[in-house]
Amino acid sequence: MTFSVVILAAGKGTRMKSNLPKVLHPIGGKPMVQHIIDTVRQIGAENINLIYGHGGDQLQQALAHNQMNWCLQAEQLGTGHAVQQAIPHLNDKQDVLILVGDAPLIKASTLEQLLAVKQHADLALLTVQLDDPTGMGRIIRKGEQVTAIVEHKDATIEQLAISEINTGMMIMGSKDLKRWLSQLDNNNSQGEFYLTDVIAMAATEGKTIKASHPSSAVEVEGINNRMQLAKIERAFQLNQANVLMSKGVTLCDPQRFDLRGDLVVGQDIVIDINVVIEGTVSIGSNVTIGPNCVLIDCEIGDGTVIEANSIIEQAKVAENCSVGPFARLRPGTVLLEKSKVGNFVELKKTTLGVGSKANHFTYLGDTTVGSKVNIGAGTITCNYDGVNKFKTEIGDGAFIGSNSSLVAPLTIGKNATVGAGSTITKSIEDEELAIARTKQRNIAGWQRPVKKS
């Protein structure tokens, strides 16, 4: 079945207190409206129409990668007026699924169920029962048949007692929708053209109107302020945590876990508290990730341990490695099997060979390190002259003494040794020892500097 989609995303979202359009505020690291676009793509939508208004330039920049029609609602005159902006793009032979842009948790399965209900009705809408329906449009029924939706401000006392509410999501034939939209008026307390009025029009024409319901109310909750944004973020993250745990991942506290992208996992992974995962990340089996780590667009091999407070970004870590605590692997870093990066070590565009170690207080940039190399504490590569970057190459089995400065471009041969405290400016051949220190002088009677008044 082919169908069109209209997403209502023109509101300013004044209660967000933000210069960012409301529907661009992120859930799980992605604009909330992008979640909805991705979901309708998942269920086979061919024709997506986004109704936009406030912050149009920001929206078009953030969502430019999506294939869809941009429908400007220059004046916000109500939901009915908003849908009218999509009329030129609607095929008379298709159904039209109307969604709101600020309810990012709507599930594909819920929308598929709504589409299925429409197969046996002229109009199908998504409704939900709420303990506190304050501010929401009420569903009016005659028996099982839905006959109208009454907005909260226009409802009578009896209607306000109804707990079944409108979610703003519905589907109907395009021809019917166009006809009903043309008949809307703004004779109501808000002076707006309500989309919900089409329900009463359909009922008057004797159309069959059926309701469908989400699996939980949180699916259809809208976001209007920062408190609701935080609530939906936690609901989204808890759902992702539950999916991961069902795949064999141990989360020490699912409430303190954030996945802001796509994660591929093996089995028997343990993830401690406050771990943030962004972008596209893969984690192999039998991996342990300590608390407060950040993983961004990276690959972690089987059996690796990531200690607390480490950051890994656009890097590849092979099997049985050890990283951290307090380590930072920057873009372009590759750790080969059984290598080790210890506390307060930073690597950028560096390959650390099989079984090699940089255990303490080290910076390696634009460096290739062979296998079974020991990098002493306090070692740095001086790879930048203020304009250009230069490479350092360290051969298999080399030993770099503590507190050494390696001034690139530089090659250190296999099994070569650098004495502690050396500044190395010339390449070292295989199995050579290089020591670059000035002769120690002890000066008697030296006067320390004093603070000037």
Q: What is the pLDDT of residue 445?
A: 86
Mapped onto helix, strand or coil, the DSSP state of residue 335 is strand
> Quick check: 190 pLDDT over 90?
no
pLDDT recorded at residue 135? 86
Does 417 have pLDDT greater than 90?
yes
User: How far is 84 from 97, CA to CA, in rounded Å?
Assistant: 14
Do 205 and 64 lie in a common domain? yes
Q: H/E element holding 322?
A: strand 322-323
With 70 as the cut, is the pLDDT of residue 30 above it?
yes
Percent of the chain with pLDDT over 90: 88
Q: Is the pLDDT of residue 449 over 80?
A: no
CA–CA distance, 8 with 5 (Å, rounded to integer) = 10
**333 φ/ψ angles, rounded to the nearest 5 degrees:** -85, 140
Is 453's pLDDT higher than 80? Answer: no
pLDDT band at 448 (very low <50, low <70, confident <90, very high): confident
Residues 209 and 334 in one domain: no
Amino acid in the structure at residue 207: K
Question: Which residues are registered as beta bridge partners of 128?
Answer: 165
> Is 90 exceeded by the pLDDT of residue 306?
yes
Confidence of residue 168 (pLDDT cuts 50, 70, 90): very high
> What confidence tens digit (pLDDT) does each residue in 48-64 have?
999 999 899 999 999 99
Q: Which H or E run includes 297?
A: none
Do residues 173 and 321 both lie within one domain?
no
Domain presence at residue 180: yes
* Nearest-angstrom CA–CA distance, 377 and 379: 6
How many domains are there within the chain? Answer: 2
| Other residues' Cβ atoms within 10 Å of the Cβ of residue 88 | 9
Could you read off the pLDDT of 238-291 as tens digits, one per residue?
999 999 999 999 999 999 999 999 999 999 999 999 999 999 999 999 999 999
Mean pLDDT of 287-303: 98
Query: Is 360 annotated in the active site?
Result: yes
pLDDT at 1: 64
DSSP 3-state of 99: strand
Average pLDDT for residues 94-101, to the nearest whole number?
97
Pick from 105, 212, 192: nearest CA to 151: 192
Binding-site residue numbers for UDP-N-acetyl-alpha-D-glucosamine are: 8-11, 22, 73, 78-79, 137, 151, 166, 224, 330, 348, 363, 374
188 and 69 both lie in a single domain: yes
Q: Are the C-beta atoms of 418 and 400 separated by less than 8 Å?
A: yes
Give 384's DSSP letter: B
User: Which one of the listed residues 54, 89, 152, 360 is annotated catalytic?
Assistant: 360
**Do 155 and 32 lie in a common domain?**
yes
Same domain, 170 and 42: yes
Q: Which of 347, 118, 293, 101 is nearest to 212 (CA)?
A: 118
- Please tell me whether the overall predicted TM-score, pTM, comes out greater than 0.75 for this model: yes
Residue 99 lies inside a defined structural domain of this protein: yes
Q: Note whether residue 235 is domain-resident.
A: no
Q: Which domain holds residue 386?
A: 307-434
Count of all residues that appear for the chain in the document: 453
Answer yes or no: is 135 within a domain: yes
Q: Is the peptide bond before 409 cis (omega within 30 degrees of 0)?
A: yes
Binding-site residues for acetyl-CoA, in ranges, read 377, 383-384, 402, 420, 437
Beta bridge pairs of residue 296: 278, 313
Shared domain check, 325 and 216:
no
Q: Is the pLDDT of residue 324 over 80?
A: yes
Q: Domain check: are 215 and 311 in the same one?
A: no
Binding-site residues for Mg(2+), in ranges, read 102, 224
Per-residue pLDDT, 447: 82
- Distance, in Å, from the CA atom of 253 to the CA atom of 275, rounded to the nearest integer, reads 10
| 117 within some domain | yes
Residue 27's pLDDT is: 98
> Do 171 and 312 have their domain in common?
no
Contact 42, 60 (CB under 8 A): no
Tens digit of each residue's pLDDT (9 = 90 or more) over 109-135: 999 999 999 999 999 999 999 999 988
In a domain, 395, yes or no: yes
**pLDDT the model gives residue 390:** 96
- Known binding residues are 8-11, 22, 73, 78-79, 102, 137, 151, 166, 224, 330, 348, 363, 374, 377, 383-384, 402, 420, 437
Task: Please give the biggest Cα pair distance in the chain.
Answer: 107
CA dihedral sign of residues 337, 340, 346, 351: negative
Report the CATH number that the domain containing residue 209 is assigned in CATH.
Answer: 3.90.550.10
Q: Are residues 11 and 150 both part of a single domain?
A: yes
Q: DSSP letter for 290, please.
A: -
Do 82 and 187 fall within a single domain?
A: yes
Tell me the CATH number at 321: 2.160.10.10
Final residue of a structural domain among 162, 186, 220? 220
Residue where a domain stops, chosen among 204, 220, 236: 220
Q: What is the pLDDT of residue 189?
A: 80
Residues 77 and 214 occupy one common structural domain: yes
Tell me whether residue 158 is in a domain.
yes
Segment 3-14, tens digit of pLDDT: 999 999 998 889
Q: Where does a domain end: 192, 220, 248?
A: 220
User: Is position 291 within any domain?
Assistant: no
Strands 288-289 and 299-300: unpaired
**Token representation of residue 44:** 């086979």
* Burial annotation 417-451 (CB, 10 A radius, 16+ → b, else e): bbbebbebeeebeeeeebeeeeeeeeeeeeeeeee
